[in-house]
A and B are shown apart, each in its own frame.
Chain A
């Protein structure tokens, strides 16, 4: 049980009208593993992630989380299972400070009414410290004054505060400078060290190779490769992204196996 994958999706399909966004995709994440999820635009990365996050249901296939078969109907259910997604636009309120953002919508109160600021501030600081985020001047700093990397760190810390077991990061290094990208990738590794399962979606293969243990490649809604980082090269991944072998030719109603 402990060695089984944290998340195991098998035979996932999802269509939007005539568009087959995902076709019989297998996807798994182990505890303490960083799984890179790569693919060209429209390959189905977002569709896969949104299904796992409960934004919409898959048409076919089974999702197992911690060994149990689950159907995730809403983001709230995903959160209850321990699945948190950090979207590209981060969804932080600029006008609030770091603590307020990390507890937004889940504030701790005393006497059923008053915000318990000391308790929230301690918990926020402890979470950030556990992720070795040390570049913030103060957890009472407003988010508007933070750099891109710091914002990403706050968004990630927010996602791990709630006993989450699987953290999905959507393009966490897009729009970041070199030093800040470094910080975020280190942060991703630390999440895995804490035995969380991590999925990192990125267009930047360099970043994926920096931190991922394994890499799933999607192409036109199908999984065309599952590679061990240590045993592959960027060239091989690029080849899979652009010309990976499909089991199914898009546009054909019948799913006869075709060798590309």
Chain B
């Protein structure tokens, strides 16, 4: 402790240097590009790494697998990655929320399988032959209720989410088996509905992809500009126009390069669009609404949240319902991609991939820190590594070991950066 305090005093020196900076004052340093870069570097050094480790990891993955296998950096594999990543990322969005409030959900893979199975059973043409959209709504409703049930046990009985969802893991895998064996002896049910199969297997036209890219870049530019304008109108310091412009250009370059590259192959997958819609929506909920603010507060300091009049249990229940909802969506997407559900649905390394995606993306296991987009970033890393190892034909054992090591590295980065933050920040 004493060491930490000394270090902080030495480095931050809350003396004359800080004393003349009044609150909300626009300092020249913040308004220039180099000032921004310096602030960013300060944050990184103090342990707020943001997306930096991910970008480093992705570059490394691209270089390593690109060198090892010619097929890795091809447009064919790029669209494959987009297809494979969608369900993992969708499931990881729910996990991000759960991790934000400092809880965990180990049942998510089998809950998603329940969603996929329920949908598949409802659209069977012989019986009961529900329309595809109604079956999806029913599946997602079922998984949302599962989230509700588990969260009621967690909050009302005060049982740790780890234990409740561990029981859930077993229960829902059993439910998948029971449902499947009711209707089939082969262990697999094929999905013939083209609209459901299309969700995770169709592609936008080339023009459609370009329009989508324009919408993404335009939407980002408009939202940034509006935020900056409303802050300036209120007499507050806003992000400089130059920085916004650079970010928009950067995003445009990345987006259109990706669309162009995907169009060289089959185009932008529909699944990517679905993922994008959920990412934007949940990011908005997390960062722009009182509910999102309360989620972060519950994760950061439940006692502070409680004293501020926030219904902590209510927030926990909503978060597990969001997680259940996204599990349902992910289950539908997985079933759609495989064109079937099976007794083995939800098994394998799905659970670990999803939690690993959220954590690798930068969501802290300690609660209160992380962004929704972490789901996308982490899923990209996990799926790329899996795809690379597949192409190389690595044996299953080696692949498990490597995936495990990557997860371990991500957790270590989280723990070390948290310690760095604590050493500098906490009195």
Contact = CB atoms under 8 A, between A and B. Distances in A.
A91 B303 contact: yes
B425 A121 contact: no
Interface string A179-218: 0000000000000000000000000000000000000000
A128 interface: yes
B426 to A, nearest CB: 7
B301 A107 contact: no
A105 B425 contact: no
B300 A139 contact: no
B309 A106 contact: yes
B288 interface: yes
Contacts, number: 114
A76 B309 contact: yes
Interface string B366-401: 001100000000000000000000000000000000
A121 B233 CA distance: 13
Interface in B211-230: 230
Interface residues of B, number: 40
Contacts of A151: 427
Contacts of A93: 296-297, 300-301, 304-305, 368
Contacts of A122: 234-236
Interface stretch (A10-18, A39-47, A94-102, A239-247): A94-102
Contact of B304 (A75, A104, A113, A119): A104
B297 A125 contact: no
A96 B425 contact: no
A95 B369 contact: yes
A75 B290 CA distance: 21
B310 A104 contact: yes
Interface stretch (B16-24, B85-93, B191-199, B266-274): B16-24
A136 B25 CA distance: 10
A115 B309 contact: no
Given A113-B289, A138-B23, A138-B24, A119 B234 contact: yes
Interface stretch (A22-30, A64-72, A140-148): A140-148
Interface in A102-130: 104-107, 109, 113-115, 117-119, 121-122, 125, 128-129
Interface in B290-328: 290, 293-294, 296-297, 299-301, 303-305, 307-310
Nearest to B297: A93
B128 interface: no
Contact of A134 (B23, B235, B421, B426): B23
B340 interface: no
A163 interface: no
Contact of A147 (B14, B235, B421): B14
A145 B14 contact: no
B289 A118 contact: no
Contacts of A146: 425, 427
Contacts of A125: 23-24
A146 to B, nearest CB: 7
Contacts of A117: 231
B99 to A, nearest CB: 13
B289 A135 contact: no
Given A104-B293, A107-B293, A95 B300 contact: yes
A25 B377 CA distance: 61
A110 B304 CA distance: 24
Contacts of A147: 12, 14, 427
Given A93-B304, A93-B305, A115 B289 contact: yes
Nearest to A94: B300
Given A109-B290, A135-B18, A138-B24, A91 B235 contact: no
A115 B46 contact: no
B368 A145 contact: no
B88 to A, nearest CB: 26
B289 A96 contact: no
Interface in A212-246: none
B424 interface: yes
Contacts of B300: 93-96
A145 B46 contact: yes
A158 B189 CA distance: 58
Contact of B19 (A109, A128, A134, A144): A134
A137 B39 CA distance: 12
B28 to A, nearest CB: 14
B305 A105 contact: yes
B296 A118 contact: no
Interface string B356-371: 0000000000001100
23 contacts: A76-B309, A87-B307, A94-B425, A95-B296, A95-B299, A95-B368, A96-B293, A96-B300, A100-B296, A104-B304, A105-B309, A107-B290, A118-B230, A118-B231, A118-B234, A119-B234, A121-B236, A125-B24, A134-B22, A137-B21, A139-B23, A146-B427, A148-B427
Interface of A: 75-76, 87, 89, 91-96, 100-101, 104-107, 109, 113-115, 117-119, 121-122, 125, 128-129, 133-139, 142, 144-148, 151, 175
Given A104-B310, A138-B24, 11 more contacts: A92-B304, A94-B425, A94-B426, A96-B293, A96-B300, A100-B293, A101-B304, A119-B234, A122-B235, A135-B14, A135-B18
